[in-house]
Every structure is written in C-alpha cells, then in structure tokens.
Amino acid sequence: MIDRQTQVLARIERAVALLQSHLFDSPPLDLAKLADAAALSPFHFHRLYRLVTGETCAQTISRLRLAAGARHLSAAATVTDAALQAGFSSSQAFAKAMKRQAHLSPSQLRDDPELLDVIAGRLSHPASGMAANPPGWLSVELVSLAPMRLMTVRTEHLYPDLFDTYGMLFEQAGGPEVVQAIIGMPRDDSDNQAGQFDSALLLSEAPRELPDNLFWQDSAQGDYLRTRHLGSFAGLEATVDNLYLTLLGMDDLWPADSPCIYHYLDDPEMVEESALRTDIYLPVVRSEPQ
C-alpha cells in the first residue's frame, strides 16, 4: 500500500511540473491552479507544499529562475541577456537575487565556470523538505463540529495588528459578555504574508447591523482533527505545521476543503504567555479526493 506521504508528494510533484511549465509567466501562475493540479484544497495546498518542499511556491519560482539564469550565464552574450532569458526584469534584479542565494554576483560566477555549474545544480533542487522536518508526537483527537455563525473581519495577515482587530470586533459585538468564542481562520498558509486571515467572534447575541468591513460567515460543519497549543502565539504556526505532518501519517484522513480554525481560549492580558491555550482544528474527510 502506498503511504500517505508518498501520495501527497506525488500530488505536489504534479503542481511543480505545472509551475515549471509556466516558470517565466508574468504574473506567476495562480496558486488556485497549482492547488487544482495537485487535487488539494486551496486552503491547505500552500502549507502542504511548503512542508513537502521546504519552500513556498514563490521561493520555488525564484530558485528555478535563478537556476535558469545560471545556466544562461555560460552561453549568453551579457549578464543582462542571461537575466532577461531567465525571466528577470533587469540585470540588477538578477544580480540581487543571485547574491542573496549564492553570495556571489553573476559576473563573478561567469568568470568561474566550474563554480557556476555547481551553483546551477544546487539551485535546481529544493534545499530541504518533509524528510528534514519529521512530525513530533502530538496529542490529537477527531471531533465533529456544528457550523458556527461568526462575525468576521478579513485582514491581510496583519498579525501585529490582531490585538486591535479583535478589540474592534469586541466593540462592534457590544462587549465581552456576549462573546462565546474568539476564533481565527487562516485562508491559506500563514507563512504566506500576502495571504488572508479571518478574525471572528461567536456571539450569543448578534448586533442589529454591521459596518461595511465586517460580515457574517458560517464555519464548515464536519470532522476536524484537534490539538491544543500551549504557550505563546508566536509558536502557534509550528504546532499547526506539526498537526499537518501528523495528519499525513494517518491512512484514513485527508484535509477537507475548508480553512483551519484557531480557538483562542485565553485573554493574553489576563493569562501568562506560557499558559495561553489555543485549540487548533484541521478539517478532514475520511476519503482522499481523486
């Protein structure tokens, strides 16, 4: 029987093949199309991609374009020619990216063909991935959730501003006495700083009307894999990664097509950082999509 990690790897490889075939597109290929190629939910594709490959899709594109630029350096008439052939907007952008990756300029690499060949080979493969980050032991349980009607504001991963964001939500709700739960829902991988995050409240009593920047949404009904993160919110994403890796070790569960749910159980103004509790819910189904 093929293990679950092998299945996910095969799906990610399909996405990588599509990404490579559109490597020089501007703008880059849409993440939703990559997720579709992998037959993975857009909510979970970006995180699974990063966990398998050790890098984000944007980092893969940058790395592969650099590899192409390195190969072009040995044959192109100028550094600018190599940069443009590899999809960079200018020789300066190419040089900056190469300096960041190889700590040498394209001109320096061009003068050392042997080193250039080594660098091109290294850039052709991701540095690390799932094998370098095995899952630890998590205490998890499978639970079923009914849908929650949530008062929500969507932000662009403005984590430093979430305290103010939830403060605004409490104000719109009418005070803490009507708040039953404080919820967060990442719309994609939270390491993707261009992504979106839903800050939400479950209320016992709904306000009569909402301002334009707020909306009501229902969380997804169904099965969730739940674990508890204890401690600073700064370590939350590492626990989420570990939960995904734990899921990949299970033969009978698969990520469902809905976002994760973070249930913040404590007020950081009232509880010591080391004692903060966050329940993480990863939506799952019991059969793998085709």
Tell me which of 67 and 158 has the higher pLDDT: 67
What pLDDT does 190 receive? 56
Q: What is the mean pLDDT of residues 184-192?
A: 76
pLDDT at 201 over 50: yes
Q: What is the mean pLDDT of residues 117-138?
A: 69
Q: Which residues have a Cβ under 8 Å from the Cβ of 39 and sit 6 or more positions away?
A: 11, 14, 289, 290
Which of 6-10, 170-174, 211-215 has the lowest average pLDDT?
Answer: 6-10
Q: What is the mean pLDDT of residues 146-152?
A: 96
Tell me which of 27 and 241 has the higher pLDDT: 241
pLDDT digits (tens, 9 = 90+) for 31-69: 889 999 999 998 999 899 988 888 888 889 889 988 888
Which class would CATH give 4-123? Answer: mainly alpha
Share of the chain above pLDDT 70, in %: 90
What pLDDT does 1 receive? 37
Omega cis (within 30) before 28? no
Q: What is the mean pLDDT of residues 192-212?
A: 86
What's the longest Cα–Cα distance across the chain?
70
pLDDT digits (tens, 9 = 90+) for 213-247: 999 999 999 999 999 999 998 889 889 999 998 88
Q: What is the mean pLDDT of residues 124-140?
A: 64
pLDDT digits (tens, 9 = 90+) for 80-98: 888 888 888 888 999 998 9
What pLDDT does 191 receive? 57
Distance CA 238, CA 242 (A): 6
Between CA 127 and CA 134, with CA 133 as vertex, the angle to 5 degrees is: 145
What CATH number does the domain located at 141-285 have? 3.20.80.10
What pLDDT does 193 receive? 56
pLDDT, averaged across the chain: 87
Distance CA 27, CA 15 (A): 17
* Nearest Cα to Cα of residue 275 among 229, 239, 227, 243: 229
What pLDDT does 194 receive? 62
Query: Which band of pLDDT confidence, cut at 50, 70 and 90, is reported for residue 286?
Result: confident
Backbone dihedral region of 39: left (phi > 0), alpha (psi from -120 to 50 degrees) or beta? left
pLDDT at 131 over 60: no
Q: Each residue of 71-108: b (16+ CB within 10 Å) or e?
A: bbbeebeebbebbbbbbbeebeebbebbeebbebebee
So where are the chain's domains? 4-123, 141-285
Share of the chain above pLDDT 90, in %: 43
